[in-house]
Amino acid sequence: MNNKRTESLIDSEFSSNEEIQVIIIDDDKDVRVNTLDLLSTEFEKISAYASPNDVLPLIKVHAPMVILTDLRMPDADGFEFAKQVKSIDPELPIILMTGYGDISIAVDAVKQGAHDFIEKPFDTDHLLQTLKRAVEKRKLTLSLHDVRRELQSVNSIESKIIGQCPAIKHLKKQIVELAPMDIPVMIYGDTGVGKELVARSLHDFSPRAKGRFVALNCAAIPEQLAEAELFGYEKGAFTDASMARVGKLQHATDGTLFLDEVESLSLTTQAKLLRALSDQVITPLGSNKDIPINCRVISASKDELRNNVHFRQDLFFRLQVAELRIPALRDRSEDILTLFEFFANQQCEHFGTHYKVANNHTRQILLQYEWPGNVRELVNVATRYAIRHCRDIEVSIESDMQNMFDSNIKDSLKEMVQAYEEKLIRGKLIQHQGKVSAVLDDLCIERRSFNQKLKRYGISTTDYRSNS
């Protein structure tokens, strides 16, 4: 047996891309040969051995293999062999072949970690199905291992999602577990907590990483254009359709579609989205041609969608196979200083300046603030710190935020936040000479929300435009 079916796999590190090897162990040569010939029609790599003693040296952690072994052999006990294998790799699937009188022993073995058992003489279809399930289980286990190993590299999740509070540690663990699973995920969290960052992490560490990550903010598109954005359209489909355009669902094929603020979709659009996801087919506006789609959908919402009267529950169950919850920054105070220093350092490198460690007073200010804008707001504060404090500009974070912690406590938190927000918007308008698009990008804010704030604070962008 010197062909590809008898190759030994003895490396200590393996990849989920390797073909899973099926190992047959039976002291009866006829059983070995017949089983090998039967399985060769379904599996690429197979090897057969007369004794577990020949196989035990090949067992390594994360080896791409499954084992089919007889329970009783003259020089070995399949039950004891299974226990030895489990002591090396508890997740390696072992299937026991047993006679009628040994079923109780096989059941005990399954209770102790064996994958399954097959009665002799075994039914061919049952054997093949049992082995296929074991192989798929092994592939999934190795895929998860690959992701965990990848996350330990330089470009790991630790460098993407900063923080060590219990909630963030749990979140990172969930991302590691869910990333390789090609299932829809719903992400909950307040505005600015980093929902898109989590969605990108799920994509980056998934088998779809080489595909596109397509993000769509559902709150930023008018209701009448939502269908065109999702499904695309043909030339002439409506008045302004001067050329055909591919929709986001099709554009994300083989990749990931991220639907941010999915709760903003109208009920009509929700119904059409549900149909597209159920059928895995879209029909662009103005066309009668069905186009197949194949993308992983990750959604995000700041509102609870379960039993939400404004959100179709059938779509909810389609989108929320799994869920992730991102805590607000105020609920992870132990990460505030770490995040601030990370972003301030990052901005100093960008501006080519030297980072100066924040003093105790500044740290107290950062820790006492409620951070209504969450991490997004913290990034802005860290950026201003990098621009001003690290360039020895006299105005530092203390004076920049002192109005929020003034000893005069007659102002409510809401009033203090609004005062800070107005000052921030006016400062950005000055910085960008009234160019609204630049301010929107800088503050990571939607135009509709920005216009509402301008109206609230009586700000006119024309007052800040350069006359040159």
Q: What is the pLDDT of residue 152?
A: 52
What kind of fold does domain 330-464 have according to CATH? Helicase, Ruva Protein; domain 3 (1.10.8)
Q: Is 22 helix (H, G, I), strand (E, B) or coil?
A: strand
Domain 161-327 class in CATH: alpha beta
Residue among 57, 208, 55, 63 at smallest CA distance from 142: 63
The residue length of the chain stands at 468
Taking the C-alpha atoms of residue 205 and residue 171, their distance in angstroms, rounded to an integer, is 14
Q: What is the pLDDT of residue 359?
A: 75
Report the b/e string of 407-437 with b at 16+ CB within 10 A: eeeeeeeeebbbebbbebbeebbeebebbbe
Q: What is the pLDDT of residue 407?
A: 37
Regarding beta strands 94-98 and 65-70, do their DSSP bridges make them parallel or antiparallel, or are they unpaired? parallel
Taking the C-alpha atoms of residue 188 and residue 327, their distance in angstroms, rounded to an integer, is 9
Cβ(9)–Cβ(67) below 8 Å: no
CA 243 to chain CA mean position, Å: 34
* pLDDT, tens digit only, all 468 positions of the chain: 333 333 333 333 454 456 899 999 998 898 889 898 889 888 889 999 999 999 999 998 888 999 998 888 877 787 888 888 888 998 899 998 887 666 677 677 677 778 888 888 888 888 898 899 889 888 877 876 765 565 454 457 777 898 889 999 999 999 999 999 999 999 999 999 999 999 999 999 999 999 999 999 999 888 888 989 999 988 876 777 778 889 999 999 999 999 999 999 999 999 999 999 999 999 998 888 999 999 999 999 999 999 999 999 999 999 999 999 999 999 998 899 889 988 988 888 887 777 777 777 788 888 888 899 999 999 988 888 887 765 554 445 555 555 444 433 344 455 666 777 888 888 888 888 888 888 888 888 888 888 888 888 888 888 787 654
The reply to whether CATH 3.40.50.2300 applies to domain 4-148 is yes
168 burial class (0-12, 13-18, 19+ CB within 10 angstroms)?
A: middle
Q: What is the pLDDT of residue 383?
A: 86
H or E element, residue 86: helix 78-88
What residues does each domain of the chain span?
A: 4-148, 161-327, 330-464
Taking the C-alpha atoms of residue 263 and residue 302, their distance in angstroms, rounded to an integer, is 8
Q: What is the pLDDT of residue 7?
A: 31
Q: What is the pLDDT of residue 6?
A: 35
Residue 26 identity (one-letter amino acid): D
Q: What is the pLDDT of residue 147?
A: 54
For the entire predicted model, the pTM comes to: 0.55
Residue among 457, 458, 456, 467 at smallest CA distance from 434: 467
Q: Is 317 left (phi over 0), alpha (psi -120 to 50) or beta?
A: alpha
The span from the first CA to the last CA of the chain, in angstroms, equals: 83
Common-topology check for domains 4-148 and 330-464:
no
DSSP 201-242: HHHHTSTTTTS-EEEEEGGGS-HHHHHHHHHEE-TTSSTT--
| β-sheet bridge partners, residue 233 | 245, 285
Q: What is the pLDDT of residue 44?
A: 87
